[in-house]
Amino acid sequence: MAFCIDEEGNSYFAGSTQDERFKTTENAYIKDYSIGGGSYVIKVNNTGTRIIYSTFIGAYSHVSDICTDKFGNAFLTGVTSSKNFPVTNDKFKKPINFRQNVIIVKLNPEGSKAVYSTCIAGSNKGLNNNLGIAIAVDDSGYAYVGGIAGSFDFTTTSSPINTFMTDNESTRNRTFILKLDTDGDSLISSVCFGKVFTTIELNDLKLDKDGRIYFVCFTYDPLGYIVTPHAFQK
């Protein structure tokens, strides 16, 4: 389950359910379990006395993280394994059935509409563990998402910072960091980190007030991990 609080003190809970009786509100973005059952978002007012909205997000999906902007829009990321996950555009990669695709969704403050909903992944080659793990948003409304890329051709906008996997070497997960524009229509940047045969998996991501990105990962292969010349420990 994911949780956050907005500037007005409203609480947001996101997760997944298999309960067809899960209650959604009248104004929900997706009310029907058969259409969107899987992941959900609930917004509770700052006194805990009223559910502002409760909505499904999409079938065969799971939300890993959620945050809000200063206007009360909710941003979430996670994963879906359904090609029918509801998207507002499919210009990056269409969801691949039975493969894990990163989801990024922006909900309006009322929870009645997806400002945007998109999937980002690669082909069905590789480990296919494409997971959105953490999300943050800056003051201008740009969303930053970090996660795990298992597909050897995960969507990027530039050459990876270090050698990424090739088709016959796609046996490890990498970390990806991407920045999505305010409309969810284009990637400002998307890069992957990791050497061939080196596992580097992201755990969390944060922004500072100047827009610098901080993230933490773990690796099974310390000898292949990238370190800077003046690192505390090499």
Which CATH number characterizes residue 139's domain?
A: 2.115.10
Q: Which one is predicted more confidently, 198 or 211?
A: 211
> Does residue 229 lie in a domain region?
no
Highest mean pLDDT among 62-71, 83-92, 163-172, 183-192: 62-71
> Does residue 87 lie in a domain region?
yes
For residue 36, is pLDDT > 80?
Answer: no
Instruction: Kindly indicate the confidence band of residue 225, based on its pLDDT and cuts at 50, 70 and 90.
Output: low
CB neighbour list of residue 81: distance below 8 Å, 6 or more residues apart: 60, 61, 97, 98, 99, 100, 101
User: How far is Cα 70 from Cα 214, in angstroms, rounded to an integer?
Assistant: 21
Share of the chain above pLDDT 70, in %: 79
Instruction: Kindly indicate the confidence band of residue 147, based on its pLDDT and cuts at 50, 70 and 90.
Output: very high
Is residue 33 within 8 A of residue 61, CB to CB? The reply is no
For residue 218, is pLDDT > 50?
Answer: yes
For residue 167, is pLDDT > 70?
Answer: no
Domain membership of residue 181 as a residue range:
2-224
> Does residue 231 lie in a domain region?
no
CB neighbour list of residue 115: distance below 8 Å, 6 or more residues apart: 73, 106, 107, 108, 184
Domains of the chain: total: 1
Identify the helix (H) or strand (E) that includes residue 34.
helix 33-36
> Does residue 232 lie in a domain region?
no
For residue 133, is pLDDT > 60?
Answer: yes
For residue 40, is pLDDT > 90?
Answer: yes
> Does residue 233 lie in a domain region?
no
Task: Work out the mean pLDDT of the chain and round it to a whole number.
Answer: 84
What are residue 207's DSSP bridge partners?
213
CA dihedral 28, 79, 184, 191 (to 10 degrees): 160
CA dihedral 146, 209, 230, 158 (to 10 degrees): 40
Q: Whose structure tokens read 């990105």? A: 213
> Does residue 111 lie in a domain region?
yes
For residue 170, is pLDDT > 50?
Answer: no
> Does residue 234 lie in a domain region?
no
Is residue 101 within 8 A of residue 93, CB to CB? The reply is yes
> Does residue 155 lie in a domain region?
yes
Instruction: Mean pLDDT check: name the lowest of 30-34, 68-72, 150-154, 200-204.
Output: 150-154
For residue 173, is pLDDT > 80?
Answer: no
For residue 165, is pLDDT > 70?
Answer: no
Share of the chain above pLDDT 90, in %: 48
Closest C-alpha to 164, from 127, 139, 131, 133: 127
pTM: 0.88
Q: Over the stretch 46-101, which tens digit does the pLDDT of each residue have?
A: 999 999 999 999 888 999 999 999 999 999 999 998 888 888 876 665 555 556 88
Q: Which one is predicted more confidently, 229 or 132?
A: 132
